[in-house]
């Protein structure tokens, strides 16, 4: 529920599991409880707290620079527009949309790997996250867009895992090209 914590946690999640991020963040947010603490932090202290998240040097640099920008340009507050959020170091459209939807309750389409994979099941054949975001933005009820994306993530984790899909349990197998192809070949 805290905008800064979600912003930083999502940045840490790049190339890292949510489980690992959730193990790291309690100490991180205890050591650095607010924007100013991060903005004034010694980079090696942040690196040490997030080391197990991978890419920790880049992430630490981005987090400190992001918090300096939040302090200096946004009065210490996380902004509530896509344009302002994506100006922050290390923050792309996916993270910005997540913050917009979950924190500010604005219509948002979060295009992650689950979204890309699952919406390709007969909806499009694209791989470009921006193009997929625009297609979904046009297709979805704005009030439902954020929840839709969360449901895709849950389905992708529980059933349609990229490495070990549980096709027999899937509610979309009747129109899933992968399932239909596998059935045809078996």
Q: Scanning the structure block, which residue is given the tokens 């297709």?
A: 139
- Burial (0-12, 13-18, 19+ Cβ within 10 Å), 4: buried
Q: Which of 49, 59, 62, 94 is catalytic?
A: 94
Which tokens is 30 given? 């205890």
Contact 64, 39 (CB under 8 A): yes
Q: How many CA atoms lie within 13 A of 86 on its CB side?
A: 8
* Three-state DSSP state, 88: coil
Q: Which of 31, 80, 112, 137 is catalytic?
A: 112
User: Residues 6 or more apart from 150 whose CB is under 8 A from it?
Assistant: 110
Q: Is residue 94 flagged as an active site residue?
A: yes
Active site residues: 94, 112
């Amino acid at each position: 529920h805290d905008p800064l914590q979600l912003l930083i946690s999502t940045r840490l999640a790049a190339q890292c599991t949510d489980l690992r991020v959730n193990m790291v963040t309690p100490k991180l947010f205890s050591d650095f409880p607010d924007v100013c603490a991060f903005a004034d932090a010694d980079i090696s202290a942040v690196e040490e707290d997030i080391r197990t998240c991978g890419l920790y040097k880049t992430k630490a640099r981005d987090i400190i620079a992001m918090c300096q920008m939040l302090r200096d340009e946004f009065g210490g507050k996380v902004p509530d527009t896509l344009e302002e959020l994506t100006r922050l170091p290390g923050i792309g459209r996916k993270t910005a949309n997540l913050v917009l939807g979950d924190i500010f309750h604005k219509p948002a389409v979060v295009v992650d790997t689950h979204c890309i994979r699952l919406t390709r099941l007969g909806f499009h054949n694209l791989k470009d996250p921006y193009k997929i975001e625009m297609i979904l933005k046009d297709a979805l009820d704005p009030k439902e867009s954020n929840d839709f994306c969360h449901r895709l993530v849950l389905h992708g984790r529980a059933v349609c895992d990229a490495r070990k899909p549980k096709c027999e349990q899937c509610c979309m197998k009747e129109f899933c090209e992968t399932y239909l192809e596998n059935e045809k070949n078996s």
